[in-house]
Amino acid sequence: MMLTRRSLLLAASAVPFVGAVPRASAQAGWVPTREVEFVVPFATGGGADLLARVIHKIIVEEKLVPVPIALNNRPGGGGATGIGYVTARKAADPHTIVLVNGTTQITPILNPAARTLSEVRPVMNVMLDDFLLFVKGDAPWKDAKDFVAAAKSRPPKSLAFATGGTTDVMAVTIFAKATGAEYNMLNFNSGGEALTQLLGGHVQACMGNPLEFMGHLQSKAVKALGVFRDTRFSVLGDVPTMKEQGFNAPNFQMWRGMATPKGTPDDAARYWEGVFAKVVASPVFRAYIAENIATAAPIPGAAFAKFLEDQEKLYRNLLDKPA
């Protein structure tokens, strides 16, 4: 069965977010001995939440940990609210895992007072998502060139984007720089809320990842006008790249990974690294990646830390925000 937004949300409403698991494979070192809290610092319905539900489903159904695991959405502040909760209530607690992504890295670049990724211990990246420009299915523009021409024919900021996080803000910023047009940005708590604004006709466009829009793409409620990558998607072959359309927009992806609270002992971090490696290897996860046109990208431990250093430099360069 395709793991769409609808199927995951319906499944979530039918059963509690706590999965009792009888036994896991024996591993040397630390093993959880009480319920694990899975903190999602984003609202329900967005890409982060959908991924969290898939990871939760795999851990529970494949019995990857020997204790119950409960999901806890704590949205707000571009990840700052949820991670603030972890810092205040779960410091160094290995019985807590946290979903992190590009938003938790970009938020403090845009708002230095925010404390997000620096307050957790990244354990493993699991996937990468590309960004596309989306409009309503009945919108008059056939591609990004048409959309930009319309923006330039009107007063600045006449066309509005709904954004569901700071990565969406960054994608719009990159697009604006590449096209020389100015857009209005209306910020919401999640990609799901941003999509609702688009479908309701309250904004003209969204920047987002395929996993948040696939069902609506298939129903033609929305259409994609361009993608920020070097080549077209094989399954969305009619969607041209930005570079094909004459826009020198850099490739931009959303990384998505898992962390534990800052100060988590090394043996516990290794334990969770092993669990998430099994998640990525799961047939359910592979199907989710394929169905949502994403890229599996397991990057563990020290390699993940180096990856994040490089991403930080990339983001700051794209945003003209030196360290």
Which residue intervals of the chain are DSSP H helices?
A: 5-14, 47-61, 80-89, 102-110, 144-152, 166-179, 191-199, 210-218, 266-281, 283-291, 301-319
As given in the structure block, the two tokens for residue 5 are 């937004």
Burial of 30 (0-12, 13-18, 19+ CB in 10 A): middle
Considering just the CA atoms, what is the radius of gyration of the chain in Å?
19
Query: Are 76 and 189 within 8 A, CB to CB?
Result: yes
- CATH 3.40.190.150 residue ranges for the chain: 5-13+34-128+254-319
Architecture label for domain 132-227: 3-Layer(aba) Sandwich (3.40)
Query: Are 276 and 258 within 8 A, CB to CB?
Result: yes
As given in the structure block, the two tokens for residue 207 are 């920047």
What's the pTM? 0.82
Distance CA 205, CA 18 (A): 36
Determine the pLDDT at residue 214. Answer: 87
Determine the pLDDT at residue 9. Answer: 34
Query: Are 259 and 121 within 8 A, CB to CB?
Result: yes
Count Cβ atoms below 10 Å from residue 231 Cβ, excluding itself.
9
Determine the pLDDT at residue 323. Answer: 83
Determine the pLDDT at residue 47. Answer: 87
Determine the pLDDT at residue 19. Answer: 37
Distance CA 259, CA 277 (A): 13
Query: Are 216 and 198 within 8 A, CB to CB?
Result: no
Count Cβ atoms below 10 Å from residue 196 Cβ, excluding itself.
15
- CATH 3.40.190.10 residue ranges for the chain: 132-227
Architecture label for domain 5-13+34-128+254-319: 3-Layer(aba) Sandwich (3.40)
Digitized pLDDT (tens) for each residue of the chain, 323 residues in all = 344 433 433 333 333 333 333 333 334 599 999 999 999 999 998 889 999 999 999 999 999 999 999 999 999 999 999 999 999 999 999 999 999 999 999 999 999 999 999 999 999 999 999 999 999 999 999 999 999 999 999 999 999 999 988 899 999 999 999 999 999 999 998 888 999 999 999 999 999 998 889 889 999 999 999 999 999 998 899 999 999 999 999 888 899 999 999 999 999 999 999 999 999 999 999 999 999 899 999 999 999 999 999 999 989 988 888 88
Determine the pLDDT at residue 93. Answer: 97
> Which is nearest to 282 in space by CA: 124, 123, 58?
58
